[in-house]
Amino acid sequence: MKPTDFLTIDDLRARAKKRIPKLAFDYLDGGAGSEANIARNRQGFEDIVLCPEYLRDVSERNQQVTIFGHTYDAPIGVSPVGLANLIWPKVDSYLAAMAKQRNVPYTLSAVGTTSIERIAEIAPDHAWFQLYMPGQEYICFELLKRAKAAGYNVLVVTVDIPIPSKRLRDLRNDFTMPFKMTPKIIWDIARKPNWALATLANGKPRFENMAPYIDDAAAGKSLNAAQALQVSPKLDEDLMRRIRAAWDGPMVVKGILSPRSAEAAKRIGADGIIVSNHGGRQLDSAPSSIEALPRVVDTFGDNMTIMLDSGVRTGGDIVKAYCLGAEFVFSGRSFVFGVGALGEIGGSHVLDLFANEVDLTLAQIGCTNMAQLGAEYLWK
């Protein structure tokens, strides 16, 4: 099959589902609780209607957007996805290389499966680093030092995992890190021989950044390793101020849904926020990110760079987010579905889909660039 046979992110998702074990697919695709928040993220975008405007010259269009001093060629980047190489070997490296080649941002997760240093070599000017506060504080500051030494400019601190969420699919699949090789899991993997061979050839995915500290992170906790590395019940404003003081580049707080939390982010000195519900993986009863966005923009739009992720699956969604005041947009699953479906070229195909749909939507509503988008293009 050719990439052009896949016309939507859903087409790629369906192909990825066929190629990878259920345990890995469910880890990527699933969310918290009943997954109502995942559905709400999509519904939120679908409920927004755009107002087309004609009788304008739209023959010259471009999608460039400048944030934190860098002009990107598309209005969307890659959200951090932990353990991505479980979905298909080398996901992190493929997506980082795509980001460099296509001039978009790629965010490496603190619980990524490729090291901070390796991603900086692949995409020195396009990689952002995302930090979690692990069980032991010193690990966080070590990671910051490594990210700075490797040349990362933008730091993203994720704040929406005070404690682990209840992800039913993972629980039902007995999914923990490190893997327990139960008969059910062995059977699951045996049914996807291409994935099994590729994974065997590349080595079992592991938390490359956390590897030196993993025993410390999990010490004294009854959590599995993956959870112990991410959970931060003590991440308050004081700790955030110390993180701020340790980072001299732009700092972005990810996982904000309310003006009150946005205000806290502003107080601690954040340069930007990502309005996000972690793709529906944390609080099942949370609002969709697109419905949370306008309130945050109304209160802080002039003071911080406001970005969004969670549920973005089309170029139309991207345009809607910009109309509501987002200054940049990200997606996590879309890009990983792309690699799961098509391998190395998958990320680039996802970006093509998004960029083509943004272009089409801009022309239909009578706009020629992202800066023109605003509330006047929303059908009220």
3-state SS class at 370: helix
- Crossing angle between the packed helical segments 289-300 and 259-267, to the nearest 10 degrees: 50
> Is 307 buried (19+), middle (13-18) or exposed (0-12) by CB count in 10 A?
buried
- Alpha-carbon gap, residue 219 to 323, rounded angstroms: 46
Give least dist CB 59 to ligand FMN, A: 32
Q: Which of 12, 32, 67, 81 binds ligand FMN (CB under 6 A)?
A: 81
Determine which one of 70, 126, 278, 349 is catalytic: 278
Residue 24 sits in the site that holds ligand FMN (CB under 6 A): no
Which residue stretch of 47-55, 177-185, 201-209, 276-284 sits at the interface with ligand FMN (rule: CB under 6 A)? 276-284
Only one of the segments 64-72, 136-144, 209-217, 278-286 lies at the binding site for ligand FMN (rule: CB under 6 A); that segment is: 278-286
Q: Is 288:279 a contact under the CB 8 Å cutoff?
A: no
Q: Round the CA-based radius of gyration of the chain to a whole number and report it.
A: 20
Compute how many other C-beta atoms are within 10 angstroms of the C-beta atom of residue 363.
16
Q: How many residues bind ligand FMN (CB under 6 A)?
A: 23
**Which residue number is nearest to ligand FMN in terms of Cβ?**
332
User: Does 111 contact ligand FMN by CB under 6 A?
Assistant: yes
Query: Residue 109, interface with ligand FMN (CB under 6 A)?
Result: yes
Verify whether residue 70 is a known catalytic residue.
Answer: no
* Residue 368: CB minimum distance to ligand FMN, A: 27
Q: CA of 348: how far to CAs of 61, 96, 254, 352, in Å?
A: 20, 11, 24, 6
220 CB burial (10 A radius; 0-12, 13-18, 19+): exposed
Question: What is the smallest separation between the CB atom of 337 and ligand FMN, expressed in angstroms?
Answer: 9
82 binds ligand FMN (CB under 6 A): yes
The stretch near ligand FMN (CB under 6 A) out of 65-73, 79-87, 185-193, 213-221 is: 79-87
Quick check: bond before 178 cis, omega within 30? yes
Residue 279 in contact with ligand FMN, rule: CB under 6 A: yes
Least distance (Å) between residue 56 CB and ligand FMN: 31
Please report whether residue 28 would count as binding ligand FMN according to CB under 6 A: yes
244: number of Cβ within 10 Å = 18
Can you tell me the distance from the alpha carbon of 286 to that of 104, in angstroms, rounded to the nearest whole number?
29
Residues in contact with ligand FMN by CB under 6 A are 27-28, 79-82, 109, 111, 130, 158, 254, 276, 278-279, 281, 309-312, 331-334
| Catalytic residue IDs | 278
